[in-house]
Every structure is written in C-alpha cells, then in structure tokens.
A and B are shown apart, each in its own frame.
Chain A
Amino acid sequence: MPHIEIDGQSIEVAAGTTIMEAAESLGIYIPFFCYHPKLSVAANCRMCLVDVEKAPKPLPACATPVADGMKIATASRKAKMAQQGVLEFLLINHPLDCPICDQGGECPLQDITMGFANPHSHYQEEKRVVEDKDIGPLITTEMTRCIQCTRCVRFGQEIGGIKELGATGRGEHMAIGTYVAKAVQSELSGNMIDLCPVGALTSKPFRYKARSWELKHTPGVCPHCSTGCNTDVQSLGKEVLRVLPRHNEAVNEQWICDKGRYAYTGLNAPDRVTKPLLRQKDGEWAEVSWAEALEATLAGLDKMLARHGADKLAGLISAQSSNEELFLFQGLLRGLGSPHLDHRLRQQDFRADAAMPRYPALSMTLEELEREPLIVLCHAFTRHQQPLTNHRLHKAVLNGGKVVSIDSIHQDFNFPVTQLVAEAGADGHLYQQLAEHFAHLHEAPQRDPLAVLAQELAAADNPLILIGSALLHHPQAADLLAQVESIAELSGGRIGWLAEEANSAGAWLSGCVPHRGPGGHPVDAAGLPADAYWEAGMQGFILFGVEPGVDSMRGAEAVQRLANAEFVLSISHFAQEARQYADVILPMAAFAEGAGSYVNNEGRLQSFRAAVKLPGEARPGWKILRVLGDSLKLPDFQYNELSEVSAAWQHAVGDYGMDIPPFQAFPPLHATQALPAGPLLRLGDWPIYQGDPLVRRAAPLHNPLRARMHPQQAHLSGIQGEVVEVSTAAGKVTLALELDTHIPLGCIWVPLGYSETAVLGAAYTPCSVVMAALPERQPESLRAS
C-alpha cells in the first residue's frame, strides 16, 4: 500500500487510488469540474492540477494514481498558479452574468472563482457565442455557459444509456448537443442537470421560478416506484419547485429518474381538489365544508350497509399510500365488517395468493444486486418500471454479469440484455420450454437461446430470478409463477420480486390484501381480490388515492360498476375521474404535502416529511381515515399524532427481514392453457409516465398515446395508414399507430393507463384491428400546462 503525503498529512491508500481520492479521504479539497466519482475520468478541465514533488509539471489530481512516497502540495504556489491559470481560461468565454443565470448560487464555477484572488480576466477579445440546442421538454440549454467538461456526455454513455448526446466539432468549436435537434430519450436525463457544473443545462420546468438560496429543503422519498429513491424536495412558500436526488449510496446513490424529478409538476393539475365535494340531488357537484362532507359520508355508508350489508362494501387503496394510511385503511374496512380490500388493481389472476411471500421483496439489497453474475428478468421491464433498480442491473452487467429478459415483447433496455420473447400470447409456453430444457442439459452444442439459458442457469451458482409486475398482470399469472418457481428449483436459484409501486411492500405488510392482515398473517375469512369487485355487484366503495378507470385492467367496467354502486367515497387528490361516479370526494394531501413512511423493494423502511403546506382544505390521508374511523366509532382509531399510528403499525407488522422466507410452493399447475384466440392478441401494460395519478398529470413527462405493431404484421393485417381502430369484446378505440419491430407478430400493443384505452378492457385478450381515420375531437388532457 503506497504511503503518501498531501499538504503535510500522511496517509496510506490502496494502490491505484488517485490523488483526488486520497485528498478526499483526508478532507482536503482540490477544485475540479470534469471529475465525478461515478463517471470515467476525462481529465480534460485541468482544474485539479496539483504540485507533485519531483514532477516537472503540475499533475491532474483526478487522473494521477498515487505512487509510494509521493509528496503532493495542493495549494503551493505552483499548484495555485496552475489552477488560477485554468480558471482564467474557463472564464474567458463564459458569460459573467451569474445574477441572471439559473445556476447562480449553486454553481461550482462561481464558487471556485470566488475562492481565487484574481478572477479578473486579461481577455479582451470577443467572447464566443454558442448556439443553444433543443434537447427536449425537460432540460433548458444555454450552451454559451458550457465549459466542455463532458460530464453530461459521459453520464449519457456510461449511466443514462443516452445515445443522442455528444460533443461535436473540435478545438474551440467543440460543442455539446444532440444531432439534428433530437430530444434526449432517457428516463435518467434530468441527472445531467445536477451533473452540469455550470448553468449550461438547467431544469426547464424550474426555469426562472426561484433562486436556489431561497428554497426550503425537505428530505423526501420518491413515491413513483419501489426503488424508494431519496429526494430533496425544494419548495418556496406553498409550492414545490423542484425535486432533486438526496445522496444515499445504498439506495439511489446520487441519481433520481425523470419520473421522480418531474412528477411534481402534476400537483397543480386543473382537477386538483382542495375542498370537499358533495354530489347534489341533481347530480351536480358542490363544494362543502368538512363537517357536511363527513356527515354525508357517514349517512351514505350507513344507508348502504343497512341495505346491502358489509359484504357488499369494498375498499381500494393505492400502493403509493404510506404505511400509516394503509394500516388505517384496512382497519377501517375490516372494522366496518368488510373483508374486501386490495391494492392490486392491475392484477387479474389471484390463484397464487396463498403462496405469495409476506411482501414482494428483492430479497437482497440494491447494492448486492450489482454483484449478481446471472439475472433473469421475468416479465420485468425495469428500465421503465424501476429506473434506478435498473441502474443496478446495468452495473451488474458492467461488472461482468449477465442479464436475460423473458417477456411478451422486446424491450428497449439501456444496456446489453439477452431477450427471449414469447410468440403471441405463448408466455406460459416459453417458460415451460425453458423448464423442459433442463432435462437435456448435456446435449451440446446448443443453439436454441432457451437451451443456452437453461445451461447457463444450471451452471450458475445460485442465479437470481426476478419477477416483474407484468408477470403479475398476466391473465395466467399463477401458472407463470409456478413455472418460474420450477425453473428456480431446477437451476438452484433464488427468486426475488420487483415490487411495482413505491409502497407495494408496505401494502402487503400492512394487510391491504383480502387474505392477509397486518404482518402478513392470514385472516379468518378472506375477502375478494380487486378484480372481482366489478362483477360481484359491490354496492359501496371506499377509494383511497386510486383512479380505477385507468389504474385497473378493466377500466371501463370498473367505472360502470362504480357509477351504479349505491355509495362511493373517493379520498383523492384529483377529481376528474371520481366526478363520474363518486358521491363524496374528500381532498387529501398529495406528494410533498404529507408525512409518512414507505417500505421499499429491499424492505427498507424510509420516512418522509411534509415539504409544503396543504392546499386549500386538503387534509393528510391518515387524518381523514382517522376521523372516519373515529366517527364510525371503530376501535383503535384514537390517534393524535402520526407517530402514534407509525408505532401501532410497527407493533402490528412486527419484524420482517430484508430477506424473505424461502419461497412457498405455488399451486401445481395443469398444462398451460392457450389464451382465447382472435385475429390478433392485444398486449399492453402501463407506460412509464402513465402509472399513477400524479405522473399522469405531469405535463413535461407527456408521452403521446400510440398503439404499436410490427411492420410485418401491419402489412399482413392490410394496414397502411398511421391510424387504426382496435376492437375487443369490451369496446373499440381509434388510435395512432407506430410500427415497431419490438412487438411480436400476431399482436398489437395498446398501452393501459389512459382513459382512452380503458374501453378495451384487459390486456392479453383477442382483438381485431382495421385502418381508420383520426377522431376529430381529442380527449381532454389531464396534464397541467
């Protein structure tokens, strides 16, 4: 281990350590711009030059490995001269107008400049002007400020999977940009804003909203997927102005995805509710006081229960709700005598319920995921579903691991993944074939990719098999699970679960499933699962943070049932959908407005605080539930503080490990049945920016609604234009069509999560497709503008 001395302090560091890293561990600051601990070393800015004894020239600390006996001075005259010289070069073409720059106040260039005695430039020539580039709706560019550090480009190549950004031209004409004004296509693109050391890349939605030092910072946890990224919610007054990553090496390192970063822009969507709403006799809605709304709620529930009994009451809650809310919610439903409550609106097949683990756990930490040598993703498109869990998979690949995806369609991963795609609807068959190959492991050489995978799985030491949410959305989910389990057994591997939503784990642990109570203990009499409520003729509903019209597989049917029910209470942030069927809408705290805790995919309990005041008369969800329970005279609802609810939750849930107990056997499967046949199979799932009420309303994250079909299939189906009409047994819709070789033959992909496509009902159903013309009237957008 080399022994070195920096500014008179000695330290022993591992061979290969750079001077920068060694200085960091001593707490010695060396100015830098291009260096970033998570990126490859470019050594191009030259800001970190230091004075190394016996070296004739100053050396870049970020790129120079230490050698035994090295004596380094970071602030000697020689070092300072070098650093100051570089700084001057950086400034000669940089506009010196920090007061109007969006980076002002949080700009390393500004800070470092202040730290030097003589920032005054001798440069009297004309400054370079660089053209700004349009790289999409999320990032503003001001390229004259760019100092060509290439952090953004390296981030794109090494982490973001951004294939559009580069540095073109040479010499002083070197400029960062995309080619032919392309938007950057990456769910991680916003991180480039944080990485850019100057105001060249800034947040478009945040533009001119505030100066950084005016902002209040509140630690948050992202509510948009099960990774549970730690965030820094920044606000001014009542408004959330931006969301940035909060450093946590164990969870999100220093990144967040664009969903986590920009979803807040949906907070002021036009249909945000801030006052209790009550449906009047004439069907119109009126804003009422809380007292009036509660009174109407109690009366409505009473009447419904009296006429139909608690067995006709059902509860649906979002898995974005906090543990505290989930816990109170199940207490409310069960206290009222109804066993029918669930958070799994998107699932269709619940036959495997009894065998499900206590909660959907990754069964390892995110950091451990990086070191897995072989990972098989079962119907899991992590890039869009858990973007920063996906980043760990990317790192596993960089570390020499291999990732295989088994899915219904080809997915657009941002790192090399071997993809096995089922023929139209034959997902079960694909898994079954894979399992069968284990019987013929020694028949080399194998060409069939399934056979190769079987061999690799058998050869691997304890491979990891991860189950994704699309597998659970499948109409034959239980069969697929059983097959996946047998593959895990055959290969001596482990199963892990990629939980779908931010608090799916908490929803299971809190008992928001019909067959298990808090802590995962089975209940005496199990209720019905979510998907059954529409057919079971439920008469009363309590909805908490959900929009079943777009959040469930059979949205149109759900809305119809809700509209016909006797009494519907919607506790929600947004009113648009609930106005169609609810009787009372209670306004609740949304993202950043309330406090609580989540359990992420690892089983990590993380809490968050309210960052801004509640808008209007909205109330925290847990308080609404408490008041309801209290007014209904239910036991265990006498809480005053959130901490009391948290404690009760802890007590009820008990201990749960990050490592879930071994997999329990799924019901044995019979031969996989074929899906009902039709001219084509309609596939679909929830796209990245359509997955929850808030993100659906975030204007900058908008993705156009399109059906997707293989060009060859379009040809076979006689479709030439760019618009099609898709019909299923449930209904039909006219949509724009995109030709896409990712979709297998015999299928059309129609996304869920849009009110427009809800009429088609569930995915994996037969459909027919014909050419059409675009409807004249476009449906109203929910998104805030």
Chain B
Amino acid sequence: MYVNGVTLKNRGVPDSHRLSVYAGTGGYEALRKVLQEPMAPEQIIAEMKKSALRGRGGAGFPTGLKWSFMPKGVSGTKYLLCNADEGEPGTCKDRDIMRYEPHRLIEGMIIGAYAMGATAGYIFIRGEFIEPINIVEDALAEAYAAGYLGKKILGTDFSFDLYVYRGAGAYICGEETALMEALEGKKGQPRFKPPFPASYGLYGRPTTINNVETFASVPDIITKGGEWFLNLGKPNNGGTKIFSVTGQVQKPGNYEVPMGLPFRDLLEMAGGLRPGRQLKAVIPGGTSTAMIAGEVMMDVTMDYDSISKAGSALGAGSVIVMDDSVCMVRTVERIARFYMHESCGQCTPCREGMGWLWRVMHRLENGQGREDDLQLLLDVGSRIEGRTICALADGGVAPVVSSIKLFREEYEYHIEHKRCMISMGEH
C-alpha cells in the first residue's frame, strides 16, 4: 500500500523542510520538466484532469477542471492563492505539510501559476501557525535564491512572485472569498457568488485558490503522470489523501493513504480504540460533516463517493473518532459553540441561528432541556440550511441534526433526567 508517499513523503527525514533535502529527493524536477521540456499549460491541465485530483480543502472540486476555468488572454494580473487557513476542528494536515514539505507546496503553486498564467500569489496561513509561517517564509527565500521564484524563472520568460499572508484569527477566512476579503485588508466576510473567483477574485482580478494538500500533490502528478496518481486511488477519487485521525484513538495522527482504504484499516493504523472501548460514532470530514454511526462507519471506505453515500462527506479528511465513553449532547454542544463563535455575522440565519442552536444545546447539556427542544433544534436547523451566503452555517447545522438522528434517546434522556446517561467524567 502506498502510505505517506505523496505530500508527506519526506516527513521524518531530518531537515525535510530545507531545499537541499527536497531537491535531493527529486524536488523541483516537476518544475524543470514543465518549464524546460516544456509542457504547454493546456497539457498540464489535461494531466491534472486525468489524475482525478479533487480539492483537498473540503469541497472536493476537481482541480484540473477548476484550473481550466481561469480566463485566458486577459490583460492584467491573475492571482493564485493557497488556502492554508486550516481551522476546522479535527483538521491538522496542512500544518504538517508546511512544517515538513514547504517546498512541495511552493513547487505545486509555481506549476499552477504557470499553467494558469498567474504572476502573483499569496499563501494565506492562519495567524496562529507561527512555526509553519516561519518555515514557509524561509523556504520562499530559498526558492527565490535558487531562481524558482521571481523574474524569469529558470531562465524562461515566466515570472511569478509568491508571498505569505498571515491571518489574524477567524475560521471563516478558510472560505475562499472570505479569504480574499481578508487578503484585501477587510473583515473576512464571504462574498455572494456569482461572480466566482475565476472571474472576480482578489482585487477583482481572475483568481484561483487551492488547498495546501492540493498544491502539494501537483509535483508528483507532473513527474509521474496523472494516470499514476489516479491509479493510486479509485476512479473519480484519484490519489492518496491525508486523513487526520483524532479523538479517541490510541495513535492519533496524519495518515496519507490511498483513497478508498476501508475505514477499518485506517482505524487500525491509528492504533485502534482505547482498550475496552466500542466505536460510537465518527465524524468523517471535520465538524462540518454529518456524524456517522460507528457500526455503519466500520464498513465504509475512505473516499468522496463512499462517504457521501453513507450520508456525510469526506471534507478535509478530518476523521474524528468517538468511543462509547462520549456524551453526545456535551460533544455537540461544544461543536455548536464553535460555529456560533466563528459565524462572520453577515447573514441573518447564520448570525441568529448559530447562537440559537448553541443556546438550546447548552440548556440541554445543563439539564434544562424542554420536551420540544429536539423538534426545535431540527426546525431551526432546517430554517438555516441552504439559505446562507456560505457553507459555514450548513456546517454548523450538520452535527446537531445528524447527532439527534443517531442518538435521539441520549438527547431524550438528558431532557427527562436532567443529566447525562453516560458519565463522561471530567474531560
């Protein structure tokens, strides 16, 4: 099985973040191939399409197709952005790519810029990631010094400038248009779409944005071919994917495995459950995705299509494992608090609804639940879903609604007995 072989290949190698180490393991060969062979932009995009690489930021949009949307022959600057805002609870993969493989990300971006005709780019890194920020800044300096960035890259006519942009603390900036607003020096409030970034992005210019892991997958796709990447995974679900397995497992961590791996195997890689525990539920793709019952999850394979069939989404591959020691009400209350805290506040259903959901959850958790509270939560959720500017609000509804569906009796017990049926103890 191809494990930790694409974006985290060099993790564990000393100084893997240095250019020398990266170059020593075939780094920047893809860029040389593209510029010196040379590969035409269309060829690169065709290869990306063939690879069936889907965006690793959460939405899973086919990357090659996205790249093909960038308008050609327009005058003025086109921008390429990297989304390194990683903020959804359970998600911690981009941080490791940046810490261990910053050059892979940079190389992927340079190739993307060349393919789409972008001349400037920004890596938007969440402000709290100070260590990764410093590493990426150093790597950029190395890449400039080596002639991989800046004017006339590798002696060709292609120029590309790349900078780090530091966020300042807001999950919503992970939403691509909010990220652009933040980059423009504003509050990170998502824009209404259309227009889409490919026509109206940063500073109103054509812009493409991808996740860190997406970009970091590019160099190998170029050197080894789209076909090769596709075959690592499953049709329509190409390649390997990092799964951040967190929660109640013995060896939480980032596991880069082929798409389509059975969850069962992934769980085993992560050390399995703690002794004597049963699997209660799994959030397969970060808190914005619906919960799946443990017994169902055991038979699901880890790829976009299978998880979607199981009623949830692969999201960013953030697998949150909960065993039978977990009080669902308390856990979901905690998740609801996150969405209330992170709502940007511009649209009514989200601004008002996230707080409402949390307040009811909070009441339930504190033994003040009312008989019709479950119906109320479902009703409020249904009035939020699909009616907001961005997907944050839907993400906030999903854990509440899915957990009520799966664990209704637990909720009801809370209402009836004013306390938990599971003694979670102090957590």
Q: Which residues of A contact B (CB under 8 A)?
A: 41-47, 49, 56-58, 60, 63, 65, 81-82, 85-86, 88-90, 92-93, 122-123, 125, 147-148, 150, 167, 169-174
Contact = CB atoms under 8 A, between A and B. Distances in A.
Contact of B352 (A56, A57, A93): A93
B155 interface: no
B387 A86 contact: yes
A44 B389 contact: yes
Contacts of A85: 349, 382-384, 387
Interface in B338-389: 340-349, 351-356, 359-360, 363, 376, 379-380, 382-384, 386-389
A43 B351 CA distance: 14
Given A49-B387, A58-B386, A174 B356 contact: no
Contacts of B354: 171-172
B219 to A, nearest CB: 37
A19 to B, nearest CB: 13
A interface, over-half SS: loop
B14 interface: no
A573 to B, nearest CB: 48
A173 to B, nearest CB: 7
B386 A170 contact: no
B194 interface: yes
Contacts of A45: 347-348
A648 B340 CA distance: 70
B125 interface: no
B355 A63 contact: no
B356 to A, nearest CB: 7
A173 B345 contact: yes
Contacts of B172: 170
Contacts of A169: 345
B88 to A, nearest CB: 16
A671 B383 CA distance: 76
A174 B352 CA distance: 11
Contacts of B343: 170-172
Contacts of A81: 383
Contacts, number: 95
A57 B383 CA distance: 12
B170 A170 contact: yes
A580 to B, nearest CB: 57
A44 B355 contact: no
Interface residues of B, number: 34
A169 to B, nearest CB: 7
30 contacts: A42-B346, A46-B347, A46-B388, A57-B386, A58-B387, A63-B192, A65-B194, A85-B382, A85-B383, A85-B384, A86-B349, A89-B352, A90-B348, A90-B352, A92-B356, A93-B352, A125-B359, A148-B351, A167-B345, A170-B172, A170-B187, A170-B343, A171-B341, A171-B345, A171-B351, A171-B354, A172-B351, A172-B352, A174-B344, A174-B351
Interface in B379-420: 379-380, 382-384, 386-389
A43 B379 CA distance: 23
Contacts of A43: 192, 347, 389
Given A42-B346, A46-B347, A89-B352, 12 more contacts: A43-B347, A46-B348, A56-B386, A57-B386, A58-B386, A92-B352, A170-B344, A171-B342, A171-B355, A172-B354, A172-B355, A174-B344
Contacts of A47: 348
Nearest to A60: B192
Nearest to A47: B348
A172 B345 CA distance: 6
Q: Give the dominant DSSP class at B's interface.
A: helix
Contacts of B345: 148, 167, 169-174
A86 B348 contact: yes
Which 8 A-B pairs give the minimum distances between C-beta atoms?
A: A85-B383, A174-B345, A57-B386, A89-B352, A171-B343, A43-B192, A125-B359, A44-B346
Contacts of A89: 348-349, 351-353, 356, 383
Contact of A148 (B346, B359, B376, B387): B346
A44 B347 contact: yes
Contacts of A65: 194
A32 to B, nearest CB: 12
Nearest to B370: A124
A165 to B, nearest CB: 14
Q: Report which residue of A49, A92, A170, A173 has the largest number of chain B beta carbons within 10 angstroms of its beta carbon.
A: A170
Given A122-B376, A122-B379, A172-B355, A44 B386 contact: no
B340 A172 contact: yes
A144 to B, nearest CB: 14
A597 to B, nearest CB: 46
Given A46-B349, A92-B352, A171 B344 contact: yes
Contacts of A82: 387
B348 A123 contact: no
Nearest to A88: B383
Nearest to A92: B352
A175 B354 CA distance: 17
Nearest to B170: A170
A352 B170 CA distance: 65
A92 B348 CA distance: 11
Contacts of A173: 345
